[in-house]
Amino acid sequence: MTKFQMTISDVQVMQTWTLLMCAARDRKIYTDEELGKIINAIPVNVVDILRPIMKFCEKKEYPKLTILIVNANTRLPGIGLRGIDKTKIGEETEKIYEYPWLSVGVPDINDFKKADKE
């Protein structure tokens, strides 16, 4: 029997997905610094945690959940903004808030990894 072992970044991706689903439900936005503290990552590494989630959302044609994480200095989303007109961030955020994320559930880490490679 082969044992499956998740890396620290795998765990952080899974934690972040769950946090973002709850943030959408609660209509909340986090800064990269806040996310870093929650998942024990330095803000500069947060982009590597968000990228697989953003690509997974794109692949599944979900709203870009990662725009709920904003830069602590600019208060603007970084990753996840790809393909979104900056003047429509409010509209996109509203789509995220209204999406039934809890019915989506938590994907398998391999779903995120596969999307990140595509």
Q: What is the pLDDT of residues 32-48, one digit of tens each?
A: 999 999 999 987 788 89
CA distances from 60 to 51, 57, 88, 115 (A): 14, 5, 21, 9
Taking the whole predicted model, whether its pTM rises above 0.85 is answered as yes
pLDDT of 1: 45
Q: What is the pLDDT of residues 10-30, one digit of tens each?
A: 999 999 999 999 999 999 999
